[in-house]
Amino acid sequence: MFTKTAGALALSVFVYSAAAEPVSEPEGDFWPDKAKLAGESRLSYLFWDVYDIRLFTADGSWQDKRPFALELTYLRDFNGKDIAERSVKEMKGQGISDKAVLERWEKEMKALLPDVEEGDRLTGVADSQGNTQFYYNDEPLGKVEEEAFTDAFFAIWLAENTSEPAVRKALTGERK
């Protein structure tokens, strides 16, 4: 079961664990204000700016290894349930086809994710053990201890077959 902290604060598209635990501190010295910016981008859909996204790594370069963090700063208000549904759709696009797993992740995300407002910042940290730690405006939300989730979740932005290749290129430094 995923443990909620700070009375129902929650994180955007992130969630499930059979053994999730509260998070109090980021892994060691790794946190966006201690790590180095590898890349950043803005996700827009049609005429709307959705969020700004930044990738942080230990040395400021993307090498597809943990730990790393993705920080999303929302530019619009969104319903948490819609975010969860979109996340699952993106995971399907990455090749996740196990319906039971996707349904479990979606159910957990819908139970956890709050509605976000313009300016809210959500951060997911992939730690060196393959877990995901989540933060809402730098406040800890919880820890997902499922490597498959961690891989699927971050693949939304970082996999080569992402639905947003320009965002990936900007995040990983492939642009320019």
Question: Which amino acid type is present at position 113?
Answer: L
Give the pLDDT confidence score for residue 110 in this predicted structure.
Answer: 77
User: How many other C-beta atoms are found inside a 10 Å radius of the C-beta of residue 154?
Assistant: 21
Cβ burial, residue 164 (10 Å; 0-12/13-18/19+): middle
Residue with tokens 């604060």: 9
Total structural domains within the chain: 1
Q: Is 128 part of any domain?
A: no
Give the pLDDT confidence score for residue 31 in this predicted structure.
Answer: 66
Q: Is 90 part of any domain?
A: yes
Q: Is 135 part of any domain?
A: no
Q: What residues form DSSP beta bridges with 45?
A: 48
Q: Is 1 part of any domain?
A: no
pTM, two decimals, is 0.80
Give the pLDDT confidence score for residue 175 in this predicted structure.
Answer: 55
Q: Is 134 part of any domain?
A: no
Instruction: Read off the CATH number of the domain in which 40 is found.
Output: 3.50.70
Q: Can you give the residue range of the structural domain that contains 66?
A: 6-122+142-172
How far apart are alpha carbons 146 and 152 in whole angstroms?
10
What does each of the 176 residues of the chain score in pLDDT, given as a tens digit? 333 332 222 333 333 333 334 333 445 556 666 789 999 999 998 999 999 999 999 999 998 899 999 999 999 999 878 888 998 999 999 999 999 999 988 887 777 777 889 999 888 889 999 988 878 888 877 777 889 988 998 999 999 999 999 999 999 988 54
Q: Is 130 part of any domain?
A: no
Distances in Å between the alpha carbon of 87 and those of 7, 14, 25, 131, 152?
23, 8, 25, 18, 10
Give the pLDDT confidence score for residue 101 in this predicted structure.
Answer: 95
- Residue 77's φ and ψ, nearest 5 degrees, are -85, 140
